[in-house]
Structure 1
Amino acid sequence: MLSLASLSLTLRFGEAELPGWLGSTMRGGFGQHLRRIVCYRPLHECESCGQAGECLYYETFERPCSRRGYAPPPRPIVLVPPFFGRRVTFRKEGRVEVGLLLLGRSVRNFPHVLLALQQFGFHGLGEGRYFGRNRFEVERATCRFSNRVVFDGGVIHPDRLRTLDVAQIAKVRGSRFRVHFRTPIELPLGFPPSPEHLLGLI
């Protein structure tokens, strides 16, 4: 059984100037603060740590290959920020909706994920953080499966978080499929990608 939780996070920014694509900036900042929260040996390499196999940070950011085979491992925490396509400016305040997917054991670590995001927001993202801008707080987290608020800015309600077993999702049958890219993607082998390369990316 592989559990899946899908949430929508409302981030409330103060004064901010955000890039058209938040993906790499958010992933990097979140990873930095997640490591600060969960790692008790921050000056050591992850590979030399005896707790790496149970570490939320290692499983999300450092594991080089899957537990089986040599393919890139699935990431248990996925942030899905919006794609603006242009710079976005908030003069005083603004809100951004960010998707959050938690897979497997990471579902029970939702409080750690939330704390890392709050710490990240306190410090701010991008170059603007050096000038007191681009700071945010997680104002609300809503479970997409239960349509209930699981975090309201001060209290976590774990009983409202509903998960799905990935194996129970209905299979799609057919010989032709259309893939929609909701966020930018890097294609080092050029466009259009071959079917084999595309499946590897997925």
Structure 2
Amino acid sequence: MLATFRTTHYRFELQALDDLHMPAYQGSTFRGGFGHSLKQLVCFKADWRACTPCARHNDCPYGYIFETTAPQEGPAMHHLHEIPSPFVIEAPSEQQRVYAAGELLGFDLVLVGQADTYLPYLIMAFQDLGRAGVGQPRGRYALRRVLAHHPWRGAEELKYDGADMVLGGNGVGVGWNDVAARAASLPADTLTLRFHTPTRVKYQQTYVVQPAFHVLMRALLRRISSLALFHCGEAWAGDIHALLAAAETIETGQSTLHWVDWERFSGRQRQRMTLGGFVGEIRFHGNLAPFRELLTLGTLVHVGKAAVFGHGRYDIVGA
């Protein structure tokens, strides 16, 4: 149980002002521009580009969202090199690639834990990104609306109407009770996972194509326990060794998983990066009851590397 774990989900509705040429996985374009715009917006230094790592660390909206650091009172955690960022961008994948001026497009932004308190900064950053332009060649967009929505109940709250931010509300976040209730509705003996975007899961230093169930659970536990600790203020209290031992008894059934290669250009590293991963469906059989809550959380925050781009997105078929 992770009583304080909470996600909030926002739908950003955009309108193209120029023709937009987007990549197959749009989350990478929005994420790269978003980081640049947020840093320029909030950095107090004149040479904000050179403020790396962020001088204010978690006290700066950019530092917290993109370069989260371990708290000083937790020296045992300083060995961690990859603290996950508390957001995920879920954007259309391999669908429409060109948007004519005037057309509508959008993406969802998932925030974890206290990252939700920075929503006004994030809205302004995406406004600025629209003025600067995205894609190759760059095209501008206007941010028309931002809606908070519950991914399972359908409830919505308006947060930005195209001119002003709407304060208050925020009653549509997903808390532990929502997760537990949805997990309890899943079958306990057979589950099928459908991976929509390239999923990059490493086991024994190698990216896998056909992951055993315990390999997926290790990746989920790493991600969710870190998100809970650094962004929700709660350490994972379960017996991880016992859970992983139980995961090793789960059998793999039919699988259509296959590897897809994909590249993006990293403005920070000034080079092209290969971010391929597996997509498709895989079925598991066994005593899955102890894993249903973790699997349900994973549908909200994704699994594996490059989740902030939208990679590792999956759902549970029939859920």
**TM-score under structure 2 normalisation?**
0.54
What displacement does 1:190 show?
3.1
CA distance in 2, matches of 1:34, 1:136: 17
CA distance in 2, matches of 1:150, 1:27: 20
Q: Deviations over 1:62-88 (max 9, x none)?
A: 2377975738434222211111x2562
| Alignment match, 1:111 | 120
More deviation, 184-193/97-106: 184-193
**Pair 1:53 & 2:58 matched:** yes
CA distance in 1, matches of 2:146, 2:62: 21
- Would you say the 8 A contact 2:8–2:174 is kept in 1? no
| Residue 43 of structure 2, aligned match among 39, 43, 52 | 39
- Would you say the 8 A contact 1:4–1:166 is kept in 2? yes
**Pair 1:193 & 2:200 matched:** no
**Pair 1:23 & 2:30 matched:** no
CA distance in 1, matches of 2:194, 2:133: 31
**Matched residue SS, 2:34:** helix
| Residue 156 of structure 2, aligned match among 137, 143, 147 | 147
| Alignment match, 2:291 | none
Structure 1 segments unaligned to the other structure (5+ residues): none
CA distance in 2, matches of 1:71, 1:168: 31
Distance 1:97 1:72, change over 3 A: same
Q: Deviations over 1:123-174 (max 9, x none)?
A: 1112211xxxx21121111111341322110111122332435322242253
Structure 2 segments unaligned to the other structure (5+ residues): 221-302, 304-319
- Would you say the 8 A contact 2:20–2:100 is kept in 1? yes
Amino acid at match of 1:56: P
Amino acid at match of 1:95: L
| Alignment match, 2:141 | 136
Runs of 4+ with >6 A deviation: 64-67
Q: Percent identity?
A: 21
Aligned residues: 195
Higher relative contact order (CA 8 A, sep 6+): 1
| Alignment match, 1:158 | 167
Larger Rg: 2
**Matched residue SS, 2:13:** strand
- Would you say the 8 A contact 1:3–1:163 is kept in 2? no
**Matched residue SS, 1:11:** strand
**Matched residue SS, 1:93:** coil
- Would you say the 8 A contact 1:4–1:163 is kept in 2? no
| Alignment match, 2:135 | 126
Instruction: Supply the RMSD in Å over aligned alpha carbons.
Output: 2.7
Distance 1:45 1:39, change over 3 A: same
Q: Deviations over 1:94-127 (max 9, x none)?
A: 1113111122222121110000001111111122
**TM-score under structure 1 normalisation?**
0.81
CA distance in 2, matches of 1:194, 1:90: 39
